[in-house]
């Protein structure tokens, strides 16, 4: 008999809206579940094949967790090109495409990112549409604190590291995947909450 898959403790917590937390409060850190597979691609051909498979497997229209990272620029007025693209089409897999290693963004990946049938998660707008969350501008980290009383690791060392380095470290891959994963996870929770509120008399 297959063993029952256990969810991470933070996914089993009851959402406590209106939880107060101080900036000094040390909160437990959300981690990427072991059940989420991270697929790392840094080769144009590999990227194109993965994107083609992904396009075929998705039921459109759909929503994906999405984010990008780039090498920090310390020159005023100058910004470096995107180094990696993160896509999380479901809660069991996240794709990390290191486009800086490829030299450009392959067309199949461009098509996925630009498709009108694939919505990239916008947590801020969705949160503001709910009356209980309409009081401020929300981001990934602030929503994680509000909904789960947990924090997302925004390590300065990793966040401002060189995302053009090859290969990416395990810490970089987990950091990047978690951003896209958490976006989709929170989006799905907010959608369920919105549906519940709309059904109330």
Say if 13 falls within a structural domain.
no
Say if 12 falls within a structural domain.
no
Residue-level pLDDT at 16: 42
Say if 111 falls within a structural domain.
yes
Say if 19 falls within a structural domain.
no
Residue-level pLDDT at 30: 92
Range of the domain at 63: 29-199
Angle ∠(137,176,33) on CA atoms, nearest 5:
95
Say if 117 falls within a structural domain.
yes
- Residue 154 CB coordination number (10 Å): 12
Q: Which of 68, 63, 57 is nearest to 188 (CA)?
A: 63
Residue-level pLDDT at 74: 79
Report the distance separating Cα 150 and Cα 27, nearest Å.
5
Count: domains in the chain? 1
- Residue 17 CB coordination number (10 Å): 10
Query: What's the pLDDT tens digit per position in 10-42?
Result: 444 433 444 455 555 689 999 999 999 999 999
Say if 56 falls within a structural domain.
yes
Identify any residues that bridge with 66 across adjacent strands, giving them in sequence order. 87
Give the domain CATH number at 58. 3.30.420.10
Residue 146: which residues within 8 A CB-CB, separation 6 or more? 17, 19, 133, 138
Pairing state between β 62-70 and 82-90: antiparallel
Pairing state between β 151-152 and 37-41: unpaired
Helices 140-148, 170-199: crossing angle, 10 deg rounding: 60
Say if 99 falls within a structural domain.
yes
Say if 23 falls within a structural domain.
no
Residue-level pLDDT at 24: 58
Residue-level pLDDT at 23: 55
Label residues 130-139 b or e (16+ Cβ within 10 Å = b).
eeebeeeebe
Contact 23, 151 (CB under 8 A): no
**Regions in the chain scoring below 50 on pLDDT:** 1-19
């Amino acid at each position: 008999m297959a063993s029952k898959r256990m969810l991470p403790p933070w996914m089993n917590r009851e959402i406590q809206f209106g939880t107060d937390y101080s900036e000094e409060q040390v909160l437990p850190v959300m981690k990427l579940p072991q059940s989420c597979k991270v697929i790392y691609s840094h080769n144009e051909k590999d990227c194109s094949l993965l994107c083609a498979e992904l396009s075929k497997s998705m039921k459109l229209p759909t929503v994906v967790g999405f984010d990008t990272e780039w090498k920090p620029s310390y020159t005023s007025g100058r910004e470096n090109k995107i180094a990696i693209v993160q896509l999380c089409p479901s809660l069991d897999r996240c794709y990390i495409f290191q486009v800086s290693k490829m030299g450009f963004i392959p067309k199949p990946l461009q098509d996925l990112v630009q498709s009108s049938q694939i919505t990239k998660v916008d947590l801020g707008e969705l949160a503001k549409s709910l009356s209980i969350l309409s009081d401020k501008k929300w981001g990934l980290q602030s929503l994680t604190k509000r909904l789960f009383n947990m924090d997302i690791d925004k390590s300065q060392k990793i966040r401002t590291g060189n995302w053009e380095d090859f290969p990416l470290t395990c810490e970089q891959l987990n950091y990047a995947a978690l951003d896209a994963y958490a976006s989709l996870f929170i989006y799905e929770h907010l959608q369920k909450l919105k549906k519940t509120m709309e059904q109330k008399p």
